[in-house]
Amino acid sequence: MIPRHILAITLAALFASGSALAQSPATIKANIERLTGGKVKVDQIQATPAPGIYQVISDGEVFYTDASGRFGIIGGTMLDMQTRQDLTADTMNRLTSVPFSSLPLKHAIKEVHGNGSRKVALFEDPNCPICRVFTKFVDQLDDVTVYRFMLPVIDPSSQALARTAWCSPDRAGTWKAIMAGRRPTGNQDCDVSGLVEILKFGEKHRIQNTPTVFLGNGKRLVGATPPEQFVAELDASGKAQ
């Protein structure tokens, strides 16, 4: 079976070969919006290294189109087969990165390990199994400042647990206990405006999965990043700060 990303590139080449002569990006943009009845709004469009294939950014998403703007490749990654370079990664990193200083840091649970020289922001949900494993891994990191954000988005019970931790006199300890699998009870009647602000931040920046991590250089990592890769990314982000 041909891998999906290779098939996508092959199909794009076929589409391009049968399309009209190359158009300007402005014309392709107009064609896309016309052909989709205005449902797809093009924010940016630019040529790729592959003749006749253009990269399109629309509402924070990346897809590819032929020179006519009629045929699209959605959900695929463009690769340079010779260099093995992911030609989509840089664009996605740019689209999903968030300046670390723009995070709602005052509402985070802050932990300093060692000299705290590297920075990590972790958005987690207590009903997320990967989060419960990943948070233990983060606990073991040296020389890092960790900002933990409660992002109760998986289940209504997550919201109740987050409120319990938020209203606790020992917010950090209660949240750690909850992320360890315990289910403490307590007062939930307090000012949760900070928790609401975190949720609004998540919605604004399309934080739709947990765990989601932001490194000190703003790069976003989502899901179960392998430990070796995560440490390499963390080290690189520390050098970039």
* Residue 240 pLDDT greater than 90, yes or no: no
pTM to 2 decimal places: 0.73
- How many residues are recorded in the chain? 241
pLDDT for 147-173, tens place per residue?
999 999 998 999 999 999 999 999 999
pLDDT for 71-112, tens place per residue?
888 777 777 767 878 888 888 888 889 999 999 999 999 999
Q: Bin 97: left if φ > 0, else alpha if -120 < ψ < 50, else beta.
A: beta
pLDDT for 172-224, tens place per residue?
999 999 999 999 988 899 999 999 999 999 999 999 899 999 999 999 999 98
- For residue 212, the model assigns a pLDDT of 96
